[in-house]
Amino acid sequence: MVLGVDSSKLPPVALASGESSPHAVLERVVELGFGGVLFRSILDLDPSLDPAVLADVRAHADELGLRLEAGIAKVNPYMTAELPEIRELGGGDYVRGLQLMIKAASAIGITELWTATAGWKRQYPGRFQYDRFRTDAPWGDQLRAIEGLLLLLRPALLDAGCHLNVETHEEITSVEVVRLVEAVGPDAIGITFDVANVAVRGELPSAAARRCAPYTRMSHLRDIALWPTPTGYLRFVVPFGEGVIDWPSVWTPLADAPLSMVTIEGLEAGGLRSKKPVDVADPAWIEGHPDLDAGEVAALTALAESYRERAESGERPDLAELDGAGDQTDFLTAGRHFLARSLRQEHAA
């Protein structure tokens, strides 16, 4: 199994000129000891999708022995205005822009493609950080529109021999992602399983892994701390092995997944730990989750209380430390060692 890294959460990489470069990213990935890289957008390789430029990046990755994965863009028609560059790429047609990205990725041998269904708006309070709770566009309407857009992309994906892998992102549940895959077809659509995000939707990581495993073709791996609040808990990203995720219970279902690379998603810019509110005791939050499993929510709440107890005893970082910044490079390096050791142990078992 290849151990990869998400380029969007790498410490800044730049040339002497100050311009970022996919080639510099590839070199940095090798320096950090990883065997592959996920570029969150194929446009990160070249904004114009110039075939010669893309082929040059592909050749460099091959020379370095790196596996390449890439993304296209978000697939929620209610938020396409937030991504004007995709519509521009398609000459005014957002769908055509996505189709061109799929074709360009396939042309250089990238057939596992990332996507997500919305973005995170940290500037807003509470549940309104997530597009799931937009009052102008009910989440059910958004899901139907997402399914419709995926169906429009299905012919292009099949023609290119690609899978478009929908992330278990902060706004969508694993149950909903599985439904999308099964509605559109697993021959064209898969899952990017983000083990840290499912807790934001009140889902236990091990249970979500079991649901997603048959369709999981890409991954984002991080450990998490949960801190109790009067309305639920806060979720933070922490170094692997220092959080609440029971990794053996995640690896077991993923062992048979059609997954070629496990990818670490690092800390945010400046080392921020991706603090997210999860208000599982708020009636409005509960109403917005028709598939909520009370047992999973109870288990997560217990994990939050357990984490606080360990923090109070000095075994784990407390809330003040979690609110602070970590070192992006150390997080990735330690994570690579942890995952390599963990996967070896799982394979031996």
Q: What is the pLDDT of residue 346?
A: 65
Q: Cα dihedral sign for 134, 137, 143, 146?
A: negative
Query: Averaged over 182-200, what is the pLDDT?
Result: 98
* pLDDT, tens digit (0-9, with 9 covering 90-100), for 139-154: 999 999 999 999 999 9
Whether 251 has a pLDDT exceeding 80, the answer reads yes
Per-residue pLDDT for 131 more than 60?
Answer: yes
Which range, of 17-26, 57-66, 299-308, averages the lowest pLDDT? 17-26
**CA-based nearest residue to 202, from 181, 231, 223:** 231
Lowest-pLDDT range of 176-180, 335-339, 342-346 = 342-346
CA-to-CA separations, 210 to 95, 186, 206, 207, 243, in angstroms, rounded: 32, 16, 6, 5, 20
- Give the angle subtended at the CA of 72 by the CAs of 214 and 258, to the nearest 5°: 20
Question: Is pLDDT at 170 greater than 80 in this prediction?
Answer: yes
Residue 147 CB: number of other CB atoms within 10 A?
16
| Mean of all residue pLDDT scores within the chain | 95
Q: How far apart are CA 322 and CA 336, in angstroms?
A: 21
When pLDDT is averaged across residues 198-209 and rounded to a whole number, the result is 98
pLDDT tens digits, one per residue of 312-330: 999 999 999 999 999 999 9
Q: Phi and psi (nearest 5°) for 276? A: -135, 135
Do the Cβ atoms of 246 and 201 come closer than 8 Å?
no
pLDDT of residue 19: 54
Spatial CA neighbour of 9 closest among 221, 163, 193? 221
Q: What is the mean pLDDT of residues 167-195?
A: 98
**Distance between CA atoms of residues 275 and 264, nearest Å:** 17
The superfamily (CATH) of domain 2-348 is Divalent-metal-dependent TIM barrel enzymes (3.20.20.150)
Q: Where are the beta strands (DSSP E) in the chain?
A: 2-6, 36-39, 67-71, 112-115, 163-167, 189-194, 216-220, 223-229, 232-238, 261-264, 276-278
- What does the block give as tokens for 76? 């929620």
pLDDT digits (tens, 9 = 90+) for 12-61: 764 444 556 999 999 999 999 999 999 999 999 999 999 999 999 999 99
- Per residue in 89-103, pLDDT tens? 999 999 999 999 999
337: its two tokens: 């060692």
What's the pTM?
0.96
